[in-house]
Amino acid sequence: MGLIVQKFGGTSVGTIERIQKVADRIIQTKNKGNDVVVVVSAMGKSTDVLVEMAKQISPNPSDREMDMLLTTGEQVSIALLTMALQEKGCPAVSMTGWQAGIETEGIHSRARIKQIDNGRVQRAVDLGNVVIVAGFQGVSSEGQITTLGRGGSDTTAVALAASLQADLCEIYTDVVGVFTADPRIAPLAQKLDRISFDEMLELATLGAGVLHPRAVECAKKHNVKLTVRSSFSEEEGTIIEEEIDMEKGLMVSGVAHDDQVAKVTVTNMSNQIGTLSSLFTTLAEAHVNVDVIIQSSYEAALTNISFSVSSNDLDRTLEILKLNQEKLGYEDVISEKGLAKVSIVGAGMVTNPGVAANMFKVLAEANINIKMVSTSEIKVSCIIPAEHTQNAVESLHTAFGLDALEVAVVQG
């Protein structure tokens, strides 16, 4: 018996019928003697509908007004779910992000949570209510409504669980857990019983959409007990936790992919101290997330710098570079779209040399050209042409023994 935070995604609350089923699941948890706080996303594709409506008004609406618009989607969900609970005889109260005390940075569309004043939520729980909180949103110290970016409801749930010192945070979605790869790309992908925070963080960052990276980061920092499971079945999900015994784990736990990648090359920059700092500080100040970076010097005085960004950020990146050409002192910018990033992740890589070499060999045998490479202790990522994504994922999944995985032995 304890406090459980549950998060239900947009698919889980996509229709009135599904909202009724979510209410039943919440009541089951409540009837076991638990206090329950629930975080919900907007219904189904309603956020996409709101975005499309905004685009019909303006091709470039302000971030502030987009936040004001998009937060209404979650308010619909929390009100309907609360009504469903009340009709079933379960005391419940809904709260927007700001009513729940979620304070964020003053950045619109991609704010980070600074702190949570959970007093109002805790008082409602103490009175016997299930508290339904709108995910994805908060308020800045200046009183501005903000959003956390796509997938931010996961972060809301984990942050609330940490603030309330919850015994468990359950992320309910439309899949039964975390898989070794996207089953839509790799049909032989297997569900993992357990995975470490570090591995999950890498997978989430590298394109596995089952969890928001900031949610995993928050769970690891505050040691929140976290599980991912389906809202449409009773099957046990995937437990995300600290590493238990790496020696029993897999060398590679999963293959992730992101097929929305672009490459940018800035040519003939001055090859001196401060060049990299100047370039990437300029991009960071414009909130452009840069991933893989390669610097190549072909003569002492000049250097070319290549890096990858999300395809969605390419136009903004090129615009920022153009506006700052004189300050940065480069000659030209070359961009390439239609790329993907394919990655292998596993804590076992730390003690197993030659993993990267094996990955390169597998891709070469599949006749897939590698354009950029990035590595860490537990992952290797390759930028490749997007049309080869499925072939790359399936080939790597097979090569590293994930097709016939004994999921019960997967640890950290």
Q: Calculate the CA 184 to chain-centre distance.
A: 18
pTM higher than 0.75: yes
Instruction: Report the distance separating Cα 44 and Cα 221, nearest Å.
Output: 30
Domain contains 126: yes
What Å distances lie between residue 291 and 156, 221, 288, 320, CA to CA? 25, 22, 10, 17
Q: Which domain holds residue 70?
A: 3-174
Q: What pLDDT, on a 0 to 100 scale, did the predictor assign at position 209?
A: 79
The 10 Å Cβ neighbour count of residue 322 is 9
Domain contains 305: no
In terms of Cα–Cα distance, which of 270, 149, 174, 151 is closest to 229? 174
Q: What pLDDT, on a 0 to 100 scale, did the predictor assign at position 296?
A: 86
Domain contains 296: no
Q: What is the CATH number of the domain that holds 163?
A: 3.40.1160.10
Look at residue 97 and give its three-state secondary structure: coil
Domains contained in the chain, number = 1
Tens of each residue's pLDDT in the chain, 412 residues? 799 999 999 999 999 999 999 999 999 999 999 999 999 999 999 999 999 999 999 999 999 999 999 999 999 999 999 999 999 999 999 999 999 999 999 999 989 999 999 999 999 999 999 999 999 999 999 999 999 987 799 999 999 999 999 999 999 998 899 999 998 899 999 999 999 999 999 998 888 878 888 899 999 999 999 999 999 999 999 999 886 554 445 789 999 999 999 999 999 999 889 999 999 999 999 989 999 999 987 677 899 999 999 999 999 999 999 999 999 999 999 999 999 999 999 988 877 788 999 999 999 999 999 999 999 889 999 999 999 999 999 999 999 999 976 433 333 2
Domain contains 77: yes
Residue-by-residue DSSP string for 252-299: --EEEEEEEEEEEEEEEEE-STTHHHHHHHHHHHTT-----EEEEEEE
Instruction: Report the distance separating Cα 130 and Cα 389, nearest Å.
Output: 43
Q: What pLDDT, on a 0 to 100 scale, did the predictor assign at position 246?
A: 44
Whether the CB-CB separation of 227 and 170 falls below 8 Å is answered with yes
Domain contains 17: yes
Look at residue 328 and give its three-state secondary structure: helix
Domain contains 404: no
Please report the beta strands in 135-253, taking only residues with DSSP state E, as ranges in sequence order. Answer: 137-140, 145-147, 168-173, 194-196, 226-230, 238-241
The 10 Å Cβ neighbour count of residue 187 is 10
